[in-house]
Structure 1
Amino acid sequence: MDIERFVDGCIKANTEDDPQAAVLEVLSKAIRNPNAMLAAVGEPTQAEIKVLHRSKALTIFSAAWTPQMNLMPHNHLMWANIGIYTGREDNILWRQTPGRIEAFGAKALFAGDSVALPVDVIHSVTNPLQRFTGGIHIYGGDFFDTTRSQWDPETLAREPSDGASIGRIFERENQRMHARDKS
């Protein structure tokens, strides 16, 4: 697995008539061999986002989830493709209803799986395993410079979200993991 060639392939695919489908094809092909992707990006050791490419048109990163990490319901306001190269990612799909959101579906992704999420998706993410999960996340825009929404996991109250707030969640998750390891 050559990460630079993978990123270049995604950038080129993003210029096609249906960019999400074209990028998903590149991702799906790359993730079919999850061990090769794992070797290319490295074994996850903490919750983190490793940016592989960032522009106004496309963001590509490797995301690592700590054991049993949860991310509250959130939206992207852009299409997203996700491919898992180690572990498992459980997604709960949510939809807007008058006054709140409600769960309406779920999708479990295992190593080697990829999925396309539409622009209007709201989902929450869980790593149900006692080990790390790693995935490649590709967004049809600048993920880090887009103000989005997240919903409080207990009250489902809507809150603002952006790249910095997601970064703080990953920092807190690493603190939780290190505190657990010390006990």
Structure 2
Amino acid sequence: MFNLEAFVEDCKAAVRDDPTHGAVAELLKGAMTDLSAVLDELGEPTSGGLSAIYKSPQLTILNVVWKPQMVLMPHDHNMWAVIGIYTGREDNIFWRRVKDDPLGRIEAAGAKALAAGDVAPLGKDVIHSVTNPICKYTGALHIYGGDFFEAERLEWEAEGLTERRWDPERAKALFED
């Protein structure tokens, strides 16, 4: 049975023992084996949002709810991350910097579709964009190896794929209904 409070404590202990994403990824994989228990604990998503479950300088745990057909521009985290989908779907496009580009542009380098039960670790330097391709809310636990809201990060604007500073308020507003 998934218990959010115990899960948070387990993640905190895992990061104390191993500051990489390995142990946290295993914890999240374990949680995603019982999706109905996770849904019972977190509730069926009914509106978009970024809800902080736990936040410290070493660890952030978010309940991320993607609105139907929502698209989030390319961005980095500047820290490792682990994503676990508990309902719905999340499509990721992975990007890489265009070599020697003075504008800091990026180009697509791969993709991965995540469905309910899937867990995906992301390294510190990963750049990705996210789409909820379905007509219902997608719920995911996102765990980060640092303070998600305070980290210096970048995002790339959609049309020209040129970089700019990530703005947490602009990101939060995208998730609101």
Asked whether the two chains share a fold, i.e. TM above 0.5, the reply is yes
Question: 2:170 aligned with 1:165, yes or no?
Answer: yes
Q: Which structure exhibits the higher relative contact order, with contacts defined as CA atoms closer than 8 Å and separated by 6 or more residues? A: 2
Counterpart AA for 2:143: I
1:146 Cα deviation from its structure 2 partner: 1.2
- Correspondence for 1:104: 109
Alpha-carbon separation, structure 2, partners of 1:19 and 1:117: 11
- Correspondence for 2:25: 24
- Correspondence for 1:51: 52
1:162 Cα deviation from its structure 2 partner: 3.6
Aligned runs of 1:67-106 on 2, under 5 Å? 67-97=68-98, 98-99=100-101, 100-106=105-111
What TM-score, normalized to structure 2?
0.94
- Correspondence for 1:15: 16
1:18 Cα deviation from its structure 2 partner: 5.2
- Correspondence for 2:5: 4
The unaligned stretches of length 5 or more in structure 2 are: none
- Correspondence for 2:151: 146
Counterpart AA for 1:28: K
Alpha-carbon separation, structure 2, partners of 1:150 and 1:13: 29
Alpha-carbon separation, structure 1, partners of 2:60 and 2:19: 17
Which one of the candidate residues 134, 140, 143 is aligned to 2:139? Answer: 134
Structure 1 residue runs of 4 or more that deviate by more than 3 Å after TM superposition? none
Alpha-carbon separation, structure 2, partners of 1:5 and 1:141: 20
Give per-residue Cα distances to partners, 1:35-91, cap 9 Å, x unaligned: 211111111111101111000000001000011000000000000000000000000
Contact persistence 2:65–2:175 (CA under 8 A): no
Give per-residue Cα distances to partners, 1:103-158, cap 9 Å, x unaligned: 01001111000010000000000000011100000000000111211111111011
- Correspondence for 1:177: none
Alpha-carbon separation, structure 1, partners of 2:17 and 2:140: 24
Counterpart AA for 2:158: P
Contact persistence 1:3–1:40 (CA under 8 A): yes
Count, aligned residues:
172
Aligned runs of 1:37-48 on 2, under 5 Å? 37-48=38-49
User: Whose helix proportion is higher, 1 or 2?
Assistant: 1
**Percent identity of the aligned residues?**
49
Secondary structure of residue in 2 paired with 1:145: coil
Counterpart AA for 2:32: I
1:168 Cα deviation from its structure 2 partner: 2.1
Secondary structure of residue in 2 paired with 1:136: strand
